Chains A and B, each alone.
Chain A
Amino acid sequence: MVEVAEKRNMATGKMTINGKAVSFFSGETILEVARRSGIYIPTLCARADLPSTGSCRLCIVKVDGVRGYVTSCTTPATPNMVVTTNSDEIEKLRRGILELILSEHPSACLVCLIRETCEQFNALSSKAGRVTGCNMCPNRNICELRQLVEYLGLKEIRYPFLYKDFALERDDPFMDRDYNLCILCGRCIRICEENLGLSAISFIRRGHDTKVGTSFEKLHVDGNCVFCMHCVDVCPTGALSVRGSKWYGYPDRETPTTCILCEQGCELVIDTKWNKVMGAHPIRDMSVGKREYCVKGRCCLPALSNNPNRLKYPAIRRDDGKMIYADWDSAINHVSDVLSKYSPREIAVLSSSSLTDESIYVLNEFARIYAESNIFYLKDNEIVFPNIEKSEEIFKDIKLLYLAEANSVTDEIVMKFGNLENIIIQDIYPVPLSASLRVCAILPATVFTEMNGTKSCAESRRKPVAKAAEPPGSAIPDWEIAIKIGNELNSPDFKIKDLRTIQSHIQMHPWTIASVPMVPKDCLTHRGFPISDFVPDFKVFIERRLESKGEIHF
């Protein structure tokens, strides 16, 4: 609000709301003044981060000297204005308005005789395709309509219910739409148009048939929509939902973190239930310029984290050539035995731009001490050495490769290593490395939703990464794996022991991180794995976009 006031020259005036003297900034609406002064006015269409339109009429207030009632979200505050926000008459009018809204929104559950026992019984909404009541609605736990029914004490709806009978819209990737639940508040249209500048959706048709839709009622994937899902975030009902994340009800916890799928490093909140990543959404304030989410961070994280194919337990190759699962101690033992067979100049580490700063730092330190600083990255199939003294020259001596981004290693790259004998893999998913290569150990790592740390993003900003979920099996963070092996090899130079010492080292040697290539915004992979291999709807999105537009922007 202060930002708003600054824009408006900070001119202030005095007015009265419910008998309380309050001051306002020039240009503020009655609703804005009331919210800032801690006075609640119910709304369904107005949000602090959206321009107001006055469409739901629930925020009506009485202004002395003005005939009738005005919508507080669109009426500017004026000097000496005297406003009443609640009275028996206003509450009665609001109940009437809400009844009319509910006469076109499936609301039988709200007036059902067994509502309470039914809601207790059904801890989670049933996963219905077409929603005809609260107990089958994905939005039940956060529904603003239900909250208003409680607030206004609405017990019955005097009007017969009219089901709009719109077709379900679920042919788009990631998104389900059921406009039979829509109350036409227009929040989705406003956030898309005013805050994001996309205008992918608008009100279409006329009169009673009015609904939200795209031009010519095309699929969203064929229109302007970028699937940022901000329309879902602002929808007060269950009309809009993210298909993959709609049924978990209340999250057990919400964790603010940073998405590190690309260099942008968007702040987001991860919803956790059953110790798993269930959804990701923006921080609550969605004012203009506050967020620019892409479909990757908004929709792909749950499937990327919970894919059943994730590497779960360490595996080592036995003397007879068979791969077997092992506990961490045996695996680390085995790996360090293999490593100690080679001299540092015969070992090289492939690190990954997709790792957190801590993991990058520890792998770097590991390579510095045990692999003669033979560390490289792969960016668009190009080999990148952060250490300018190194070049592909070193590859001819390499006999052992330590891979932290194994899926990026193509046959062409393998060919550059003439004397390769052994490979150690530390990764999140299985890698189809060709059978001729001798992989002696596979170590399961966590994805960034399962670990604490930091990530350096574009504009040299280092952002926090927080653990939101438990890793599958016995997977541990990349930095922890590297520390375990480093300790086992027991060089006196290898001094880092925990997250805290790593972070103080990073502060002392920031160039270690600064020299690492960044993941570009339009990257379609994570840690060398195509995102679409793990998120089927992302594949649909990519293919359809390429077909209809010839290019993809995030």
Chain B
Amino acid sequence: MNELLEKSEIFNVHKMVIKAPEIANSVQAGQFVIVMGSEYSERIPLTVSDWCRDTGSITLYVIELGISTLELARMKVGDSLYAVTGPLGIPSKIRHYGTVVLGGGCYGIGGIYPIAKACKEAGNRVISIIEARYSFMFYHEKELHAVSDQVLYATSDGSKGKKGKVEDVIREMLDEGVKIEQAFFMGCTQMLERCSEATRPYAIPTKVALNSIMLDGTGMCGACRVSIGGETKFACVDGPEFDGHKVDWKELNQRKSAYAEQETVIYQSYSHGCGV
């Protein structure tokens, strides 16, 4: 069960292809799974970036950001994850908008792919914008090119595409008069906020995939609650996609850092044994 079929690292982003036929059979763009590396691991929500119904596998991109993701990062092909639950969350509602801009950073570079694909299939003009620190940190590019009319790049050091971030590319496009009918962003909270602020002055409908702390992913625990336009929503069952112009970012960031102490202290009593 949940066997790791393929594993590679692209600069701290770990590609994990996992055998999960039932999930692969029913997952749709925009949905996620919750995984546990071992019996005592934290539960981590991860966007399903790709899937293959023939082989019964799903592809996840995991960033190492703490002990539980460190545990996933150290897994090898042939190992099995303790649990993979899903598909969870409401699938992206995709229709014909016209021009759609998809922005992705970190795990979102892989994460926007199924949405780009669905947008393309719905007959939209798809512009994918991806950001990274360096040119060599991009991944999943070939697939993204195949489903996008245009792929634009932003790098922190200017080594590929525009020097800057996704929102800098968007601002440039808007300044040039490109009309955007729908925007969709996936990445770290900071990136989602920055991008949403870039589309707000132009009142471009903006969806963001929120990644709050989750436990069960079925609306029972309430750990993932977020405030959207003053209303409490559960990112797991009401989301993960929400209107980027209505998210209470400050609250989301506070809630996400609620366990900073525990997440740091746990390293003291962690050991992965001698690796050889």
Residues of chain A whose beta carbon lies under 8 Å from any beta carbon of chain B: 106-109, 111-114, 118, 121-124, 126-133, 136, 157, 160-161, 163, 170-173, 219, 221, 243-248, 273-274, 276, 278, 302-303, 306-308, 534-537, 539-540, 544
Contact = CB atoms under 8 A, between A and B. Distances in A.
21 contacts: A108-B155, A108-B156, A108-B157, A113-B165, A127-B263, A129-B70, A129-B73, A136-B12, A161-B159, A163-B136, A171-B276, A173-B274, A221-B274, A243-B270, A244-B268, A246-B267, A276-B261, A278-B265, A302-B265, A539-B271, A540-B271
Contacts of B275: 170-171, 219
A129 B12 CA distance: 6
Most B-side CB within 10 Å, residue of A114, A170, A308: A114
Given A108-B157, A129-B70, A124 B12 contact: no
A537 B275 CA distance: 12
Is chain A's interface secondary structure helix, strand, loop, or mixed overall? loop
B164 interface: yes
Contacts of B165: 113-114
A128 B12 contact: yes
Most A-side CB within 10 Å, residue of B70, B156, B263: B156
B238 interface: no
B66 interface: yes
A112 B156 contact: yes
Contacts of A122: 190
A309 B122 CA distance: 56
A242 to B, nearest CB: 9
A107 B156 CA distance: 10
Contact of A536 (B157, B159, B271): B271
Contacts of B272: 170-171
Contacts of B265: 274, 276, 278, 302, 306
A160 B159 contact: yes
B163 interface: yes
A132 B12 contact: yes
A301 B9 CA distance: 33
A329 to B, nearest CB: 31
Given A127-B65, A161-B159, A302 B137 contact: no
A206 B272 CA distance: 32
B260 A133 contact: no
Contact of A534 (B73, B164, B257, B269): B269
Interface in B223-269: 253, 257, 260-261, 263-265, 267-269
Contact of B157 (A114, A157, A243, A303): A157
A170 B267 CA distance: 13
B245 to A, nearest CB: 19
B70 A133 contact: no
Contacts of A540: 271, 273-274
Most A-side CB within 10 Å, residue of B163, B194, B270, B273: B273
Contact of B64 (A130, A160, A308, A544): A130
Contact of A307 (B11, B157, B269): B269
Most B-side CB within 10 Å, residue of A107, A108, A173, A243: A108
Interface of B: 9, 11-12, 63-67, 70, 73, 133-134, 136-137, 155-157, 159, 163-165, 168, 190, 194, 253, 257, 260-261, 263-265, 267-276
A231 to B, nearest CB: 19
B66 A127 contact: yes
Nearest to A248: B264
Given A114-B194, A243-B270, A539-B271, A129 B64 contact: yes
Given A170-B275, A173-B274, A244 B267 contact: yes
A463 B193 CA distance: 53
Given A221-B274, A243-B267, A536-B269, A113 B12 contact: no
A410 to B, nearest CB: 26
B264 A108 contact: no
A133 B268 contact: no
Given A113-B164, A171-B276, A161 B134 contact: yes
A132 B133 contact: yes
B267 A106 contact: no
A198 B117 CA distance: 58
Nearest to B271: A536
Contacts of A245: 267-268
Contacts of B261: 273-274, 276
A474 B106 CA distance: 44
A112 B194 CA distance: 15
Given A113-B163, A306-B269, A128 B65 contact: yes
A133 B156 contact: yes
Contacts of B260: 124
B163 to A, nearest CB: 7
Contacts of A219: 274-276
Across the A-B interface, the 6 shortest Cβ-Cβ residue pairs: A171-B275, A536-B271, A108-B133, A129-B64, A108-B156, A112-B156
A221 B275 CA distance: 11
B108 to A, nearest CB: 15
A470 to B, nearest CB: 13
Contacts of B274: 171-173, 219, 221, 540, 544
B102 to A, nearest CB: 21
A284 to B, nearest CB: 23
A186 to B, nearest CB: 26
Given A129-B73, A303-B268, A108 B134 contact: yes
Given A113-B163, A536-B271, A163 B12 contact: no
Contact of B9 (A130, A163, A535): A130
A243 B270 CA distance: 9
Contacts of A126: 65
A131 B63 CA distance: 12
Contacts of A124: 260, 264
Contacts of B263: 127, 247
Contacts of A109: 133, 156
Nearest to A168: B9
Contacts of A131: 12
Contacts of B164: 113
A308 B270 CA distance: 13
Contacts of B253: 121
Most B-side CB within 10 Å, residue of A111, A112, A276: A112
Contacts of B270: 243-244, 536-537
Nearest to A302: B268
A274 B156 CA distance: 33
A536 to B, nearest CB: 3
A535 B269 contact: yes
A255 B133 CA distance: 38
Contacts of A132: 11-12, 133-134, 137
A399 to B, nearest CB: 39
Contacts of A535: 269
Contacts of B67: 127
